[in-house]
Amino acid sequence: MVLFPCIFVFLMIELRRRHMSIFDAIESFLHSRNNFMPIRYPYSSIRKMTRNFKEKLGQGGYGSVYKGKLRSGPDVAVKILTKPKADGQDFINEVATIGRIHHVNVVQLIGYCAERSKRALVYDFMPNGSLDKYITPREGGALLSWQRKSEIALGVARGIEYLHRGCDIQILHFDIKPHNILLDENFVPKISDFGLAKLYPTDNSIVTLTAARGTIGYVAQELINRSIGPISYKADVYSFGMLLIEIAGMKRNSAAREDMSSQYFPHWIYDQFDKEKEIEVPDETHDDEKIIKKLTLVALWCIQMNPLDRPSMTKVVEMLEGEIQALQTPPRPSESLQPSPLEFNLSSSLGSTESIILFENCSDSAKVDVIVG
Q: What angle do CA 151, 223, 87 make, to 5 degrees?
A: 95
Active site residue 193: no
Query: What residues have CB less than 8 Å from 317, skipping those under 6 apart?
Result: 154, 157, 158, 161
Name the packing angle between helices 146-161 and 313-321 (round to 10°): 150
Q: What are phi and psi of 273, to 5 degrees?
A: -70, -40
* Segment (H or E) for 117: none
As a whole number of angstroms, the longest Cα–Cα distance in the chain is 82
CB neighbour list of residue 350: distance below 8 Å, 6 or more residues apart: 216, 217, 218, 242, 246, 251, 252, 265
Q: Which of 34-43 are b and which e, b meaning 16 or more Cβ less than 10 Å from the residue's Cβ?
A: eeebbeebee
What's the rounded Cα separation, in Å, for the pair 174 and 241? 13
Distance, CA of 46 to chain centre: 25
**Given 175, 193, 236, 288, the catalytic residue:** 175
Residue 251 annotated as lining a ligand binding site: no
Check residue 36 and report its DSSP letter.
G
Closest CA to 298 of 287, 286, 311: 311
Query: Kindly report the CA angle at 25 between 23 and 28, in degrees rounded to 5?
Result: 105
Nearest to 241 by CA among 181, 306, 313, 300: 300
Binding site as annotated, residues: 79
Binding site as annotated, residues for ATP: 79
Q: Looking at the annotation, which residues are catalytic?
A: 175
